[in-house]
């Protein structure tokens, strides 16, 4: 079940639009606003929302914080907590990359609760929520702005919210094994053509195999590289 997204007392319409756009990017559409500012079609909210101005943003629900707590499994998003087991309002907490696994088997409707731009969620509000999530960031400056925090969080949940058929399949773009082996054969011929030292060829071929093995090249990339090898071999034959 896709989580809803709630913003508690947002100060600026622009942040509402930014979050609505991130929701649209990552397959979410249920936006809740707690005590929002007034905004209309000519506001920054619609200006920043992109295509979300057509569905996510105009269909938002204005609700109370009590409504969220009483009707949803709640996840509060905070900056770095600086707390431990002795101070448990914001501890324990999950990081954003752990959140998807945590929510995968939750049967109840879930809402991600983002706080205010200036001071986030209060300790009293966090104490009423079911889970706490925090985005790991530099200790020198751990606080993200509201739009950034929402975008990072929703991205991490994409496997729960975007159909698998719409996610890019990186493996499908990788050249097939016959193409890759063909490159290794071509590279071996190239080493012969440039008279690479015989005692170094096996090691050089092995290094090339390890390099391409890590790179997962596409078919087009291999064809381009083989074109370079052919041209180099042509010039080597002329010398």
Domains of the chain: 4-166 (3.40.1280.10), 172-238 (1.10.8)
Tokens representing 110 are 């879930």
CA atoms within 13 A on the CB side of 221: 10
How far, in Å, CA of 200 to CA of 87, rounded?
Answer: 61
The pLDDT of residue 85 is 46
Check residue 109 and report its DSSP letter. Answer: -
The pLDDT of residue 81 is 53
Using CA atoms, how far residue 85 sits from 82, 115, 144, in Å, is 11, 23, 24
The pLDDT of residue 141 is 82
The stretches in the chain having pLDDT less than 50 are 85-86
How far, in Å, CA of 236 to CA of 228, rounded?
Answer: 12
Residue pair 112/103 in contact by the 8 Å Cβ criterion:
no
The pLDDT of residue 92 is 57
The pLDDT of residue 62 is 97
Beta bridge partners of 59: none
Using CA atoms, how far residue 164 sits from 100, 133, 161, in Å, is 15, 25, 9
Using CA atoms, how far residue 58 sits from 16, 17, 20, 39, 44, in Å, is 11, 10, 10, 10, 13
């Amino acid at each position: 079940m896709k989580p809803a997204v709630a913003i508690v007392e947002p100060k600026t319409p622009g942040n509402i639009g930014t979050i609505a756009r991130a929701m649209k990017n990552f397959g979410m559409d249920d936006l809740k606003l707690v005590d929002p500012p007034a905004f209309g079609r000519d506001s920054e909210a619609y200006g920043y929302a992109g295509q979300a101005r057509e569905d996510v943003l105009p269909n938002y629900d204005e609700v109370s914080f009590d409504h969220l707590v009483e009707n949803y499994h709640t996840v509060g998003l905070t900056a770095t907590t600086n707390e431990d087991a002795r101070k448990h309002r914001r501890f324990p907490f999950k990081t954003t990359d752990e959140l998807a696994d945590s929510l995968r088997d939750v049967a109840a409707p879930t809402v991600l609760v983002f706080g205010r731009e200036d001071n986030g969620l209060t300790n009293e509000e966090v104490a009423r929520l079911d889970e706490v999530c925090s985005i790991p960031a530099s200790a020198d400056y751990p606080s993200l702005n509201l739009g950034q925090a929402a975008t990072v969080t929703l991205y991490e949940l994409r496997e729960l919210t975007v159909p698998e058929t719409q996610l890019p399949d990186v493996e499908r773009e990788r050249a097939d094994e016959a193409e890759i082996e063909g490159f290794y054969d071509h590279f071996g011929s190239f080493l012969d053509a440039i008279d690479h030292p015989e005692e170094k060829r096996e090691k050089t071929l092995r290094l090339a195999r390890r390099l391409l093995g890590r790179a997962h090249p596409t078919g087009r990339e291999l064809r381009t590289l083989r074109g370079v090898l052919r041209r180099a071999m042509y010039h080597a034959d002329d010398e």
